[in-house]
């Protein structure tokens, strides 16, 4: 029976890298961020609802959602963030559930890549939760470097989510990403071996091809 796994983490923990590695191992990835963009795509029902809720200024000349404009509003007005979530989340859920059902019917193990899985209390929609973990201090350093933010701005974004250490206690499995990408890959493949998703690593395959 195929498994449906919720993959989550925190800002700048390396979840996207883990998704790529899991895809290489044959897992089907359903990305909540991609579904969220589809939910308010040009000409969509979701975009029309955003227009009604946030006004014409929320739509660019190209007919797409002005993410910067809407983002500034929802960051400073919690009630508007709730309003936006009430528009987007049901559509995202519909998109992801449809894709999940297709993949499961085809016999694939599925990764539901959901950044705010715990924040939105979606852990009961998957068979188990895997968390990509790094320390809060590493999160801050990576986010400052990646997004060119000050320490205070990086902390504000990180503290807007449930702390990574609390998420660690809530997850079924933890994938450690406090070191190099190679060590992350090894940590992930160790989990896949232990859980029976693979019986050998990609490195084993490469060694066999070179032999």
For residues 84 and 66, give the distance between their C-alpha atoms in angstroms, rounded to a whole number: 13
What SS3 state is found at 113? strand
24 within 8 A of 132, measured Cβ to Cβ? no
Say whether 17 counts as a known binding-site residue: yes
Give the C-alpha distances (Å, rounded to integers) separating 209 from 58, 120, 197, 200, 205: 53, 44, 21, 14, 6
Say whether 13 counts as a known binding-site residue: yes
Say whether 99 counts as a known binding-site residue: no
Say whether 15 counts as a known binding-site residue: yes
Q: Around Cβ 111, how many Cβ atoms within 10 Å? A: 25
Among 118, 107, 200, 114, smallest CA distance to 165 is for 118
Return binding residues for ATP.
Answer: 12-17
Return binding residues.
Answer: 12-17
């Amino acid at each position: 029976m195929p498994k449906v796994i919720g993959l989550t983490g925190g800002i700048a923990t390396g979840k996207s890298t883990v998704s790529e590695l899991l895809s290489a191992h044959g897992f089907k990835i359903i990305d909540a961020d991609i579904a969220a963009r589809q939910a308010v795509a040009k000409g969509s029902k979701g975009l029309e609802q955003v227009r009604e809720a946030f006004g014409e200024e929320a739509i660019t000349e190209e007919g797409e959602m002005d993410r910067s404009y809407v983002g500034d509003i929802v960051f400073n007005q919690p009630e508007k963030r709730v309003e936006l979530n009430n528009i987007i989340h049901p559509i995202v859920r519909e998109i992801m559930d449809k894709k999940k059902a297709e993949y499961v019917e085809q016999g694939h193990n599925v990764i539901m890549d959901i950044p705010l899985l715990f924040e939105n209390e979606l852990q009961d929609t998957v068979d188990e939760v895997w968390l990509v973990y790094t320390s809060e201090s590493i999160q801050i350093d990576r986010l400052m470097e990646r997004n060119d933010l000050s320490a205070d701005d990086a902390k504000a974004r990180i503290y807007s989510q449930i702390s990574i250490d609390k998420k660690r206690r809530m997850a079924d499995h933890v994938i450690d990403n406090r070191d190099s990408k190679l060590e992350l890959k090894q940590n992930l493949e160790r989990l896949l071996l232990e859980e029976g998703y693979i019986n050998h690593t990609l490195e084993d395959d490469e060694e066999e091809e070179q032999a």
